[in-house]
Amino acid sequence: MFIDSVKIYIRSGNGGRGCVSFLREKYRPRGGPDGGDGGRGGDVVFITEPRLNTLLDFHYQQHFKADHGQPGQGRKRSGKSAEPLPIRIPIGTSIYDDATGTLLGDLSAAGQELIVARGGRGGKGNAHFASSTQQVPRFAQQGEQGQELWLRLELKLLADVGIIGYPNVGKSTFIARISAARPKIADFPFTTLEPHLGVARFDDNPPIVFADIPGIIEGAHQGKGLGLKFLKHIERTRLLLHFIDPTPLPERDPVRDYQIIQHELVAYHKPLGDRPQFVIVNKCDIPENRERADPLEKLINQLGGQIFYISAVTGAGTKELLSRISLFFQSS
């Protein structure tokens, strides 16, 4: 199960209370106050974990509470401070205050840490309050209260390349061919119901991470189809592969399909309109399909873009495409 948005409750620990104590030793009948300080409460710390790729764990556990600091003791002994409470999340997770919508942190690197709630300070023992005018203080501070809040976690996949397009244009078949990813492939719309990551390597170059994004349709930026649920996963990509299916269908046209998806990208997040993009005409093992893409090729050439013809089923053209993608990352 792929979970990319959750709401959780977190609470840091309270500080331990200070101690009220007086020294009692033989030959020191008035040893004075010797109450120690309370320990600090535990912080709540988010830590990115490269092995995680979903927020599924938070679907089963929504409450996280750090330990409280220990109270102070006599003989000026401080209470033990609580250990921080680590919460491990996938790389690419954004953390929001659910009440205000404020972004508290965007963790996009392995091992990155963010303290979202600090533990309360321990209270001072009565040894701190002795003075010439108050030699027998019979009070100490209570520890500070910890912080508590509801958070919203949103995961945006970290991938180099985002594969976009209408449903059933061959995105899943392509990622299955070039990587070890095995998304569900079938001949009906919205076969892919969650993003899939695949890693491909061309020659001896560094590996490239591809994200197969579920099909986008007209009105996706308004929530139609899978809509806003998965559009956010292409925000971090450096390159988009826009797949087009030129198969003759009454409701489909290569130029119109291209323009609709472009509109949806800009309507959702304007900077996506300037994201580098390769247009991929798939299913070109069928001769008439390539001919149907001629008007689209003219449009892409006029826009100064790049268009590629492949067949994800037979593998035709995929090697040349991967080579061009690899060159893109080497030069960028």
The CATH code of the domain that includes 304 is 3.40.50.300
How many domains, the chain?
A: 2
| Comparison of pLDDT for 275 and 225, the residue scoring more | 275
Label residue 201 by pLDDT band (50, 70, 90): confident
| Domain region containing 270 | 161-331
Q: Is 142 found in the same domain as 62?
A: yes
DSSP labels for 168-188? TSSHHHHHHHHSS------SS
Q: Is 103 found in the same domain as 17?
A: yes
User: Collapsing DSSP states into helix, strand and coil, what is residue 3?
Assistant: coil
What pLDDT, on the 0 to 100 scale, is given for residue 46? 98
For residue 120, which of 69, 172, 84 has the smallest C-alpha distance? Answer: 69
Label residue 222 by pLDDT band (50, 70, 90): low
Q: What is the helix (H) or strand (E) element at residue 289, kind and residue range?
A: helix 287-292
Q: Residue 91 sits in a domain of what CATH number?
A: 2.70.210.12
Domain limit, last residue, from 125, 155, 185: 155
pTM above 0.85, yes or no: no
Domain limit, last residue, from 135, 155, 175: 155
The predicted model gives 33-47 an average pLDDT of 97
Q: What is the helix (H) or strand (E) element at residue 164, kind and residue range?
A: strand 161-165
Q: Are strands 85-89 and 277-281 parallel, antiparallel or unpaired?
A: unpaired
Domain limit, last residue, from 140, 155, 170: 155
Q: Is 126 found in the same domain as 182?
A: no
Q: Are strands 306-309 and 277-281 parallel, antiparallel or unpaired?
A: parallel
**Under 8 Å between Cβ of 195 and 230:** yes
Q: Is 149 found in the same domain as 193?
A: no
Q: Which of 2-6, 89-93, 115-119, 221-225 has the highest mean pLDDT?
A: 115-119
Cα 30 from Cα 9, distance rounded (Å): 49
pLDDT at 57 over 80: yes
| Comparison of pLDDT for 169 and 180, the residue scoring more | 169
The predicted model gives 130-158 an average pLDDT of 92
Which of 42-51, 76-85, 241-250, 301-310 is the least confident region?
A: 241-250
Q: Is 9 found in the same domain as 108?
A: yes
Q: Is 297 found in the same domain as 261?
A: yes
What are the two backbone dihedrals, phi and then psi, of residue 58, each rounded to the nearest 5 degrees? -75, -10
Q: Is 41 found in the same domain as 87?
A: yes
**Under 8 Å between Cβ of 221 and 273:** no
